[in-house]
Amino acid sequence: MRRSDAGAMVALIGAFTLWMGLTPTHLLYVKPSMTRWLILSGAILVAVGVTVVVLGRLEARKGATRAADAHDEHAHHHAEDGHAGHHHATRIGWLLALPLCVAVAVGTNPLGSYAAGRQNSQRVLPPGEFDLEAYLRAGSFAGQAPALRNIDYIRASQDPDQRDLLGEHAVKLTGFVVDDPDGHGRDFLLTRFMIGCCAADALAVQVEVPVDPGEVPDEETWVEVEGTLDLEASPEPGQSLDPPVLSVTAMREVDEPDEYYEYP
């Protein structure tokens, strides 16, 4: 890779990283605490790349002048270097353009129903605490049903002390629709992914939502559902990540949120 190519390549990756970090797009891939590091590293890459190109140009011009002045073979050799090559990185560096190419060609997509349908079936609740009672007491919800994250809903539904509260109080959940392979068209799985670091370690967190036969919304539609826990149909308290079942009182379509994933 020539010096100017190497510099341009580094600046390009920097611009890609900056663009990701400055728009909500990066939240489709990594956790929000990475935002500032993406912006910082993108800026560093752009600065390094531009400096490499500019210094290379200056040096090439200096070398050319020197060669022309003194017919100095050594300087002449290096002047040609500046233009034509002196390899600054092996060709493998070109591969760094691939994520950008892929993001452009395939589009920037979050994990969807495909990944949700391919989760390991023996799954346990990830570690974490959620105190539903304190949450209900602390918040003023202006007469509305309080909104809960899917992961907190499942934690509370698996907790023998909190479970009954979910049976009495209606809460609001937001997620996207994934078909239930065992549902026979009578329910769907309201799904969110929880990510620890990036989308490569995502865990599907699902709640089963019964609907009238044939009324299942299209897959990957974002919906907000309101309802209470169906104590009989939901799995027994324990450590399982099996979907609890909601008794729905209201459901509406919503826009895809910027913060696409849930975090531990």
Partner 1 sequence: MLETPGVGADIDVDEEAGKRATRLGLAGLVWAYIPVVLIARGSFGYLFEGQALRNWSTIFVSLTLQAIPFLVLGTVISAAISALVPASWIARAVPRNPVLAVPAAGAAGALLPGCECSSVPVAGRLVARGIPEGAALTFLLAAPAINPIVMVSTAVAFPGQPEMVAARFLASLLTAVIVGFFWSGFAHPDWLTSKMKVHEHGSRLDDFVSTAASDFLQAGGFLVAGAGLVAAMQTVVPPSVFDHLGGSGPLAILVMAGLAITLSVCSEADAFVAAGMTQFSLTSRLVFLTVGPMVDLKLIALQAGAFSKRFSMRFTPLVLVVAITIATLVGTVLL
- The span from the CA of 237 to the CA of 160, in Å, is 6
Both structure tokens of 210: 């019964």
Is residue 120 at the binding interface for partner 1, with CB under 8 A as the rule? yes
Under a CB-based contact definition with an 8 Å cutoff, are residues 166 and 229 in contact? yes
Q: Which is nearer to partner 1, 96 or 147 (CB)?
A: 96
- Tokens at 236, concatenated: 């027994």
Ranges within 49-68 binding partner 1 (CB under 8 A): 49, 51-52, 55, 59, 63
Close Cβ partners of 38 (under 8 Å, ≥ 6 residues apart): 17, 18, 20, 21, 26, 30
221: contact with partner 1 by CB under 8 A: no
Smallest distance from partner 1 to CB 30, Å = 5
Question: Is there a contact between 219 and 177 (Cβ–Cβ < 8 Å)?
Answer: yes
Residue 6 binds partner 1, judged by CB under 8 A: yes
Among 203, 207, 216, 246, binds partner 1 (CB under 8 A): 203
Tell me: does residue 250 bind partner 1 (CB under 8 A).
no
Q: Binding segment for partner 1 among 97-105, 156-164, 168-176, 226-234 (CB under 8 A)?
A: 97-105
- One of 197, 233, 250, 254 touching partner 1 (CB under 8 A): 197
Q: Shortest gap between Cβ of 252 and partner 1 (angstroms)?
A: 26
Choice between 227 and 243, CB closer to partner 1: 243
Helix/strand/coil for 19? helix
**Contact (CB, 8 A) for 250 and 217:** no
**Site size for partner 1, by CB under 8 A?**
75
The answer for 184, left when phi > 0, alpha when psi is -120 to 50, beta otherwise, is left
Interface pick for partner 1 out of 22, 24, 32, 40 (rule CB under 8 A): 40
